[in-house]
Amino acid sequence: MRSLKRNRQSGLQSLLDQNPFLSDEELAGHFDVSVQTIRLDRMELGIPEMRERMKMVAQDAYTKVRSLSEQELVGQLRELELGSHGVSVLDTTMEMIFEKTKTVRGHYIFAQANSLAVALVDAAIALTASADIRFNQPVYAGERLVCTARVIANADKKVEIAAETTSGDNTVFTGTFIVTKLADAEVG
């Protein structure tokens, strides 16, 4: 394979990574080759046609938006005993990081613990009142965060919950949450 082709193909790949909405004709114009050549390149690289690419993006986004708005918990629930304890797992992704540091932004880690803490409370309605939290060490994209939360005090209106998030053997986050129990009448 001559380097012209190799170059074009790697260019094609990265161009479509950036912008999946380009048709073969536009691509042909960009690389100054025929449409057929682009088609051959796509075949070799296993890149589907524009419409399929758009469909993938659309479907992906559509299910993502829906599941996000339906999702009350950040992370996947692994264990939950209301009023007692719970465990959730969060796989961190590139979307959660700071560009510069490549570390996961604190509020994702907080969100996992916070939503688990709230889920733990055995009440119709529960809201975080306060929290005292500590980020012990940075988390990088790809790490699997396991959060364990436990009720440590349960009063009439307030529940105190201790949460700890680990990545492998390391404790990356600890926090204490005070969650308020509300009756339906008190909200809205």
Partner DNA sequence: TATATAATTGGTATCAGGTATTAGAACCAG
Partner DNA sequence: CTGGTTCTAATACCTGATACCAATTATATA
For its own copies, the binding residues (CB under 8 A) are 20-21, 51, 54-55, 57-62, 64-65, 68-70, 72, 74, 94-95, 98-103, 105-107, 110-111, 114-115, 118, 124-125, 127-135, 138, 182, 187-188
Residue 13 Cβ vs DNA, minimum distance, rounded to whole Å: 14
The enclosing H or E element of 125 equals strand 125-135
The reply to whether 51 sits near DNA by the rule CB under 7 A is yes
Cα–Cα distance between 47 and 33 in angstroms, integer? Answer: 17
- Residue 54 contacts residue 20 (beta carbons within 8 Å): yes
Q: Please choose, out of 40-48, 72-80, 95-103, 125-133, the segment that lies near DNA by the rule CB under 7 A.
A: 40-48
All residues at 6 or more sequence positions from 111 whose CB lies less than 8 Å from its CB, including other chains: 74
- Pick what 40 binds: DNA, its own copies, none; C-beta below 5 to 8 Å, kind-dependent: DNA
| Residues recorded for the chain | 188
Token reading at 166? 């680990």
Residue 30 Cβ vs DNA, minimum distance, rounded to whole Å: 12
Token reading at 91? 């796989």
- Residue 128 contacts residue 179 (beta carbons within 8 Å): yes
Single out the residue of 40, 80, 87, 141 in contact with DNA (rule: CB under 7 A): 40
The reply to whether 33 sits near DNA by the rule CB under 7 A is yes
Residue 35 Cβ vs DNA, minimum distance, rounded to whole Å: 8
Nearer to DNA, 50 or 179 (CB): 50
Residue 6 Cβ vs DNA, minimum distance, rounded to whole Å: 7
147: which strand partners?
88, 165
The reply to whether 50 sits near DNA by the rule CB under 7 A is yes
Q: Where are the alpha helices (DSSP H) in the chain?
A: 3-18, 24-31, 35-45, 50-70, 106-120
The reply to whether 4 sits near DNA by the rule CB under 7 A is yes
Token reading at 126? 């529960």
Token reading at 123? 């009440």
Residues forming the site for DNA (CB under 7 A): 1-2, 4-5, 8, 23-25, 33-34, 36-37, 39-43, 48-51
